[in-house]
């Protein structure tokens, strides 16, 4: 299930978190609020969320069945808990059941579910505490976490992925089922400046402003001209060979923002909406942040408001109702000062310009962070982050 999380990525990515999703999305950095204890960036996993504080610490909340909260337990929490032993962190990425971070030293650490090697430590043993990603000879400058795989950009502009490789989502051209250590993405066709790992696919933003994707294409989430169901190496996204500044991936979908603020998406957007090629989404002009969730998509627009479209059974569109919408609806009860958005399966969160985090949608695992397990169709405040 996103959010696209790096000082290099303009306005995002996973993310986040990004991030599908599932966001699955890249990590999104934001203007630094005054307090060292306020939130710098957020990333949404499958049913958990993590926040990077200005003091370099990380707090997470929601599902913890695989140790993805990183607090040394396997107990879920509807309130933020501190990830154990992490200091001087500069970026985070939450995946399906795991989480990763980049330290100031440019090393990478991950924790949580690891059946497919998505922690990158050379094992398939899950961990409720951060472990070092091995085999990265160059510094890591960006990281993104998908459902069961993880990808990073090194200081040399290379893209590397590890974890589950079904449908070729690692981009290494192989038939292997997984990799427990980072593998080079081959035939990237340029220098990567952004990555977003989705549910079963991955996309890269190149320094040319173009986008290439690989992995599953069952719902046209690769956006490629050739209607193949799988690509184990990167392929050009039709019509996006330049001018893109931000990318995000979610469950069977991908989206991009151009340098003019225009949003284009492709794949299964939600409900009955399928787009076989990158298509402009009306009502999202001047977008500054983007998130692709399970069956919905959300954007922060230029005035600081947030709009969403897609499925809404859990209230993930934030419209105050549970009605699906194939056209953008504005999230209610926001003051118009959102700076970034992340989403995953049936929930959405935003970072406000005062460092506060608000979430809405599904809350069965406590992923809204308000101390309850009640769904909400309007934004609620995450408790205990700002000190």
CATH of the domain at 185: 2.130.10.30
Which two structure tokens, joined as six digits, stand for 275?
A: 């787009």
**pLDDT score for 324:** 97
- The answer to the question of residue 353 being in a domain is yes
**In sequence order, which residues have a C-beta less than 8 Å from that of residue 34 and are 6 or more positions away?**
none
Which pLDDT tens digit goes with each residue over 233-259?
Answer: 999 999 999 999 999 999 999 999 999
Cβ 361 vs Cβ 62: under 8 Å = no
Structural domain count of the chain? 1
As beta bridge partners, residue 211 has 205
* pLDDT over 90 percentage in the chain: 84
* Element holding 340 (H helix, E strand): strand 338-344
Beta carbons of 349 and 58 less than 8 angstroms apart: no
Cα distance between residue 57 and residue 218, in whole Å: 38
Say how far apart CA 332 and CA 335 lie, in whole Å: 9
Write the pLDDT tens digit of every residue in 330-375: 999 987 799 999 999 999 999 999 999 999 999 999 999 999 999 9
The label of the residue with tokens 């992995």 reads 215
User: Would you state the structure tokens that stand for residue 293, as one six-digit string?
Assistant: 């969730």
On whether residue 351 sits in a domain, the answer given is yes
Q: DSSP E strands: which ranges in 95-229? A: 98-103, 108-112, 127-132, 140-145, 149-154, 159-164, 178-184, 192-197, 201-206, 211-216
* Collapsed DSSP state (helix, strand, coil) of residue 209: coil
Looking at 31-35, 61-65, 368-372, which range is the least confident one?
31-35
- The tokens for 41 are 């960036």
Question: Looking at residue 36, what is its pLDDT?
Answer: 64
Q: What's the mean pLDDT in 122-133?
A: 98
16 lies in a domain? no
CA distance 192 to 240: 15
Measured distance CA(270)–CA(268) in Å, rounded = 6
What's the token pair of residue 235?
Answer: 């392929």
Q: Is the pLDDT of residue 1 over 70?
A: no
Distance CA 92, CA 143 (A): 7
Give 154-196 pLDDT, tens digit per residue. 999 899 999 999 999 999 999 999 999 999 999 999 999 999 9
In a domain, 323, yes or no: yes
End-to-end Cα spacing for the chain: 30
**Structural domain includes residue 194:** yes
- Percent of the chain exceeding pLDDT 70 equals 90
Would 337 be classed as within a structural domain?
yes
Query: Is 259 domain-assigned?
Result: no
Q: How far is CA 196 from CA 48, 181, 188, 223, 254, in A?
A: 18, 18, 14, 14, 9
Residue 35 pLDDT grade (very low, low, confident, very high; cuts 50, 70, 90): low
Is the pLDDT at 4 greater than 50? The verdict is no
Quote the domain boundaries for residue 354.
28-200+285-381
For residue 84, pLDDT beyond 90 = yes
pLDDT of residue 336: 79
**210 falls within a domain:** no
Cis peptide preceding 223, ω within 30 of 0: no
pLDDT, average across residues 114-136: 97
């Amino acid at each position: 299930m996103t959010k696209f999380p790096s000082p290099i990525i303009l306005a995002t990515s996973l993310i986040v978190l990004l991030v599908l999703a599932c966001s699955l999305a890249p990590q999104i950095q934001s203007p630094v609020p005054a307090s060292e204890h306020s939130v710098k960036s957020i990333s949404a996993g499958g049913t958990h969320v993590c926040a990077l504080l200005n003091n370099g610490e990380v707090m997470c909340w929601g599902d913890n069945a695989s140790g993805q909260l990183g607090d040394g337990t396997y107990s879920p929490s509807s309130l933020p808990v501190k990830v154990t032993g992490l200091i001087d962190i500069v970026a985070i990425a939450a995946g399906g059941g795991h989480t990763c971070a980049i330290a100031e030293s440019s090393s990478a650490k991950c924790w949580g579910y690891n059946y497919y090697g998505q922690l990158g430590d050379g094992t398939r043993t899950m961990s409720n505490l951060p472990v070092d990603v091995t085999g990265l000879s160059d510094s890591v400058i960006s990281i993104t976490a998908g459902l069961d795989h993880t990808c990073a950009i090194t200081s040399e502009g290379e893209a590397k992925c590890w974890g589950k490789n079904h449908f070729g989502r690692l981009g290494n051209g192989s038939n292997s089922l997984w990799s427990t250590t980072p593998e080079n993405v081959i035939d990237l066709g340029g220098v990567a400046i952004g990555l977003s790992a989705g549910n079963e696919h991955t996309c890269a933003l190149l320094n040319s402003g173009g986008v290439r994707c690989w992995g599953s294409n069952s719902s046209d989430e690769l956006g490629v001209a050739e209607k193949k169901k799988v690509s184990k190496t990167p392929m050009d996204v039709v019509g996006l060979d330049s001018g893109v500044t931000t990318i995000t991936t979610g469950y069977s979908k991908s989206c991009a923002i151009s340098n003019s603020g225009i949003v284009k998406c492709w794949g299964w957007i939600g409900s009955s909406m399928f787009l076989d090629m990158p298509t402009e989404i009306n009502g999202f002009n001047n977008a500054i942040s983007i998130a692709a969730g399970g069956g919905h998509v959300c954007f922060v627009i230029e005035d600081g408001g947030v709009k969403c479209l897609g499925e809404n059974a859990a209230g993930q569109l934030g419209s105050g109702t549970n009605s699906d919408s194939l056209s953008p609806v504005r999230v209610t009860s926001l003051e118009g000062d959102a700076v970034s958005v992340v989403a995953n399966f049936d929930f959405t969160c935003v970072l406000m310009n005062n460092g506060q985090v608000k979430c809405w949608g599904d809350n069965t695992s406590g992923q809204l962070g308000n101390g309850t397990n009640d769904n909400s169709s309007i934004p609620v405040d995450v408790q205990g982050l700002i000190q």
